[in-house]
A and B are shown apart, each in its own frame.
Chain A
Amino acid sequence: MQKKRKIAFYLLLILGVLLVVGLVLLLCMQSGQIAMLNPKGMIAAKQRGLLIMASWLMLIVVIPVFIMTVVFARKYRASNRESKYRPDWDQSLSAEIVWFGVPFVIIAVLSVLVWRSSHHLDPFRPIDTGVQPLTIQVVALQWKWLFIYPEQGIATVNFVQFPEKTPINFHITSDAPMNSFWIPQLGGQIYAMAGMDTQLHLIADEEGEFRGSSSNLSGKGFAGMRFKAIAVSDAAFEAWVDEVRGEGEMLDLETYQELAEPSEDNPPAVYRLGKNDLYDWIVMKYKMPM
């Protein structure tokens, strides 16, 4: 009986170890794909820095807890008659000072980090690099993303293209249920809400294609609300804008109303902008009696 139980225990242990090893291997193989650890923009890079820093700080408490759990459980098991046994010992001021104090100090340090980073990395705060920023207006629709370039007079659906090393001012709203606008490798994320104009300031440090998506459930076609964010060189961006201006379909109020009808898994598309204040119109229409 005893032996059988031991074997079962070791089987379970081996299973556990195998799974952990497998998981770690899988992680190493895929580490290039972990967006948050491979940022391609200044904001995401700073957010990663913060994440790692905070993790180390927390491990100061968490690792001792894990070690203590294992050591105490082993050492003070009932079958070990050699360990000390003090059934009425239930207080120690010095110990309590340590475990109120140390976490409190860590939280104090973290609080300073929170305050500074929240202001420094506020999504509404423009990024100042000396380069003229680009404004892109984002509208969440059922179930696709519309990107409007008011200065360039063009618009795109389900993909967004911009020059590298240029701060992007995203203005975000929704003509649909609430969504959330997120490009993990550049930094995240802010809600897209009808009648509201939220902002997100991002920058891509290099050329590349990044995955973006909605992270807030918005109905039936929610899973298809993803888009490509493409950072290209300045010259390529100019060339692309000219091309779209030349050949894109006109996006006026009528075509917009059609586009805004619910549809799923829309392929990427480009438009010439026919109504320059389209974005403001979309935001404002929720603020007036209809």
Chain B
Amino acid sequence: MFGRLNLEAFHQDVIEQGADLMMVLGAIFIVALLTYCKRWTWLWKEWLTSLDPKRIGVMYIVVSMVMLVKGFIDALMLRAQQMISVGDSHGYLTSSHFQQIFTAHGTTMIFFVAMGLLFGLLNFLIPLQIGARDVAFPFVNAVSFWLFAVGAMLVLISLAIGKFSATGWVSYPPLSELQYSPGVGVDYWLWSVQVSGVGSLISGINFFVTILKMRAPGMTLMKMPMLTWTTLATAVLIIFAFQVLTATLTMLSFDRLIGTHFFTSDFGGNPMMYINLIWAWGHPEVYILVLPAFGIFSEVVPVFSQKRLFGYASMVWATVAITLLSFGVWLHHFFTMGAGPNANSFFGIMTMLIAVPTGVKIFNWLFTMLQGRVIFKTPMIWFLGFIFAFTTGGMTGVLMSIPSVDFQMHNSLFLIAHFHSTIIGGVVFGFFAGLTYWFPKIFGFTLHERLGKWAAWCWILGFFIAFFPLYVLGMMGATRRLDHYETAAGWQPLFVVAAFGALLIAIGVGFQVLQLIISIKQRKENRDATGDPWNGRTLEWSTSSPPPEYNFAHIPEVKERDAFWAMKQAHQTHNTGKYEDIHVPKNSPLGFFVGIFAFCLSFGTIWYMWWLAAVGMIGIIVCVTIRLCDDDVERVMSAHEVQHIETARTRA
């Protein structure tokens, strides 16, 4: 009945018990709050069953923020262990617990924070930026979100029931095979990544079609906002890369479940194949994350410099070049496998080439500031941090793309410092800039400015203090993933400095939480009545904040790039005064149910509860079939209703 799930699985150590207690208390608090405020129907009707991409976007962002806190606590625990576990002291974590934490940290941050923030922002913004009322496939969008949420849930549940994977965030075999990792840990990892990965894949298709088919009349490709361009590139990357991930994880699951030998070291299996495949997805993945962040800066910098984006065409071509090149560099993750000097040189040179279009982007942003009038609001502070952190990350990246240098850097803390420079400096700073910039559009009021700046400065300073020591530690020979090292190595002082940096980032996170609370409290004073608080340039600022369900009462006609800016210059509006009926998607609980059944399928397979897995599988098929047979999926908002909403907002 319960497969391999028994009481033993609930046996956790003190730290995990603490985390479990926090989760249970948190859940009780939320349930109590919803019951007390009588908000259950509201939650169900307005959010959980909504097919409005703006609502789905907000749900993505909420889940990502919860996961960010979780992943960040992981990071603090890692720093604490490495700071004290020297010589005779073995720190406060066992090696397998430590290994679970860094695996969970990587998995959480990439799949459930970065990807979540990405889809959250894109869901909200892309239809608005292209002057559309919806995405191409609103139901598929809901399914994507619920699959993502299930993946995140599985990672959290592994804290309470069983163990998480201890094999690192890309789980190389043969370590991740049944022979060396017999427990449920790797299965938790496999299913959480697999389920959310399928969600990402269909989301990629959704955005690809949305951008190509649903742009407002007049918006040719070369008139699209930069964020839309980078999203299109990201969607292409997702479509090609994520199926590789799905296939690879399926093969590893087969190895573990039904005894195939795709990646075992014996019986003709080939672990090196897994490493190739996982990076054939993994390298494009980093560009999937960073390209939209580039897009965000391409929106933020012109608006706050009060000037057009410099070199739009070269920005577009740089994006396209990065997209193409990113598929030809995966081998640089394992020069040390010994593929030979010809293969290594080829992939090294391909990797360096990416630095050229990336550098071009940086110069374009800087020249956007040149001869502008730069207003240093919080998003611009993140931009400054980004330039310094990301450029150092890029430089160390090129260093490591030289195979002979990489032989000395590979898997050292130098590498860790490098990719945190690009991912924190590029992706995280980018998304924070974006969240601050679009917050008034999403929620209708601006964030507290001063606290935001404090948060940004703490993050930026903390980042440098936390990661620069790691560059040095790597050069001293410190490898990644060590839960203990000897005193003679002389690494401890630098680990202490790094831990201090992490603490400073924690203060930054504290400021962000405070900023959110205070901004909500003062929301009346900071209300954005105009819909355009920053003097924006793109279409999303032409509608109200928050936008109505249908985004635009009148579909705008685009004549130029920076369409809204052009309209403001010409004192035009796309309001014709005449209103028409608007079709919006009806709510559907089926996306939510698909999520529930996907959870049954994953949880059942992880614990060998086959009946539960079967229920999950059948449930998903039934839900999707019901939806496919349903023709009545749209609701009409009458012209009268639209007019009512529009006059109410213009009066306010």
A residues bordering B, Cβ < 8 Å? Answer: 5, 8, 12, 15-16, 19, 22-23, 26-27, 30, 33-37, 44, 46-47, 50-51, 54-55, 58-59, 61-62, 65-66, 68-69, 72-73, 76-78, 83-92, 95-96, 99-100, 103-104, 107, 110-111, 113-115, 117-124, 177-178, 180, 182, 184-185, 187-191, 193-196, 198-199, 211, 213-224, 226, 286, 289-290
CB–CB A27/B266 < 8 A: no
Q: For residue A70, which residue of chain B has the nearest CB?
A: B384
* 3 nearest CB pairs, A to B: A177-B175, A194-B265, A215-B411
| B residues 337-351 touching A (CB-CB < 8 Å) | 337-338, 340-342, 344-345, 348-349
- Residues from chain A with a CB closer than 8 A to the CB of B307 are 85-90
Cross-interface CB contact of A211 among B306, B360, B401, B477, cutoff 8 Å? B477
Residue pair A118, B399 in contact (C-beta under 8 Å): no
* 25 sampled A-B residue pairs with Cβ under 8 A: A5-B450, A23-B469, A26-B493, A34-B476, A35-B475, A37-B475, A73-B376, A76-B372, A76-B374, A78-B375, A85-B372, A103-B356, A103-B359, A111-B349, A114-B345, A114-B402, A117-B404, A120-B404, A123-B338, A193-B337, A194-B174, A194-B265, A213-B479, A218-B175, A286-B265
Bound CA span A216–B368, Å: 43
Asked if B484 CB lies within 8 Å of chain A CBs, one says yes
- B474-509: CB near A (< 8 Å → 1, else 0) gives 011101111111100110011001000000000000
Chain A: minimal CB distance from B329 (Å): 13
CB < 8 Å: which of A36, A84, A193, A221 contacts B272? A193
Instruction: Annotate B348-382 by CB proximity to A: 1 below 8 A, 0 otherwise.
Output: 11001101100110110011111111111000000
If the complex has contacts A88-B308, A123-B407, A189-B410, are A62 and B336 also in contact, measured as CB distance less than 8 A?
no
**B555 in the interface, Cβ–Cβ < 8 Å?**
no
Since A72-B369, A96-B314 are in contact, a sample of 14 more A-B pairs with Cβ atoms closer than 8 Å, ordered by chain A residue number, is A35-B475, A37-B475, A54-B399, A61-B359, A69-B388, A76-B305, A86-B371, A89-B307, A107-B349, A117-B403, A119-B341, A177-B172, A193-B272, A219-B180
When the two chains form their complex, are residues B408 and A187 in contact, meaning their CB atoms are under 8 A apart? yes
Q: What's the least CB distance linking B422 to chain A, in Å?
A: 14
Chain B residues, CB < 8 A from A185? 477
When the two chains form their complex, are residues A110 and B402 in contact, meaning their CB atoms are under 8 A apart?
yes
Interface contact B479-A214, CB-CB below 8 Å = yes
- Give the residues in chain B near A54, CB-CB below 8 Å: 398-399, 402, 405
Determine if A73 and B168 form an interchain contact, defined as CB atoms under 8 angstroms apart.
Answer: no
Contact string, B412-455, partner A, CB cutoff 8 A, digits 1/0?
10000000000000000000000000000000000000100010
Residues on A with C-beta less than 8 A from B36 are: none
- In angstroms, Cα B642 to Cα A102, docked, is 55
Inter-chain contact B314/A76, CB cutoff 8 Å: no
Nearest-neighbor residue (CB-CB) of B344 within chain A: A118
Q: Are B370 and A198 in contact (CB under 8 A)?
A: no
Question: B367: which of A19, A92, A123 is its contact (CB, 8 Å)?
Answer: A92
CB-based contact A122/B340 at 8 Å: yes
Chain B binding site: helix, strand, loop or mixed by DSSP? Answer: helix
| Residues of chain B with a CB closer than 8 A to A65's CB | 362-363, 366, 387, 391
Across the interface, do A114 and B403 meet the contact criterion of CB distance under 8 Å?
yes
- CA distance in complex: A287, B271 (Å): 13
Contact A76 B402 (CB under 8 A): no
The reply to whether A180 and B336 contact each other, CB–CB distance below 8 Å, is: yes
**Chain B contacts for A221, CB-based, 8 A:** 95
Q: Which residues of B contact A34 (CB under 8 A)?
A: 472, 475-476
Asked whether any CB of chain A lies closer than 8 Å to the CB of B457, the reply is yes
Complexed CA–CA distance, A107 and B352 (Å):
6
Interface residues of B in 609-624 (CB under 8 A from A): none
CB pair A90–B479 under 8 Å, yes or no, is no
B267 on the A face (CB < 8 A): yes
* Contact between B407 and A188, CB atoms less than 8 A apart: yes
Contacts A5-B450, A188-B407, A189-B407; is A23 near B363 (CB within 8 Å)?
Answer: no
Report how far A287 CA is from B285 CA in the complex, Å: 34
Decide: B476 and A33 in contact? CB cutoff 8 A.
yes
Min CB distance, A2 to chain B, in Å?
11
Asked whether B465 is an interface residue with its Cβ less than 8 Å from the other chain, the reply is yes
A191 to B271, CA, bound (A): 12
Residues of A with C-beta under 8 A to B72? none
Chain A residue nearest in CB terms to B397? A58
Whether B144 is near chain A, meaning CB under 8 Å from some CB there, is no
Contacts of A78 in B (CB 8 A): 306, 373-376
Query: Which of B96, B345, B360, B401 has the most chain A CB atoms inside 10 A of its CB?
Result: B345
Asked whether any CB of chain A lies closer than 8 Å to the CB of B311, the reply is yes
CB distance from B202 to the nearest CB of A (A): 32
> Do the beta carbons of A193 and B348 come within 8 Å of each other?
no
How distant is A114 from chain B, measured CB to nearest CB, in Å?
5
B404 in contact with A118 (CB, 8 Å):
yes
Give the residues in chain B near A30, CB-CB below 8 Å.
472, 476, 490, 493-494
Closest chain-B Cβ to A235's Cβ sits at a distance in Å of 27
> Are A191 and B334 in contact, CB atoms less than 8 angstroms apart?
yes
Complex contact A180–B352 (CB within 8 A) = no
**Residue B28 at the chain A interface, CB threshold 8 Å:** no
Evaluate contact between A62 and B353: CB separation under 8 angstroms.
Answer: no
| Cβ-defined contact, A110 with B352, below 8 A | yes
Chain A residues with CB under 8 A of B391:
62, 65-66
Nearest-neighbour CB distance to chain B for A83, whole angstroms, equals 7
Q: Judging by beta carbons under 8 Å apart, are A178 and B271 in contact?
A: yes
Quick check: is B34 within 8 A (CB to CB) of the other chain? no
Tell whether, in the assembled complex, residue B355 and residue A107 are in contact, meaning their CB atoms are under 8 Å apart. Answer: yes
In whole Å, how far is A212's beta carbon from the nearest beta carbon of chain B?
Answer: 9
The answer to whether A90 and B369 touch across the interface, beta carbons within 8 angstroms, is: no
Bound form: Cα–Cα A215–B391 in Å = 26
A256 to B611 alpha-carbon distance, docked (Å): 45
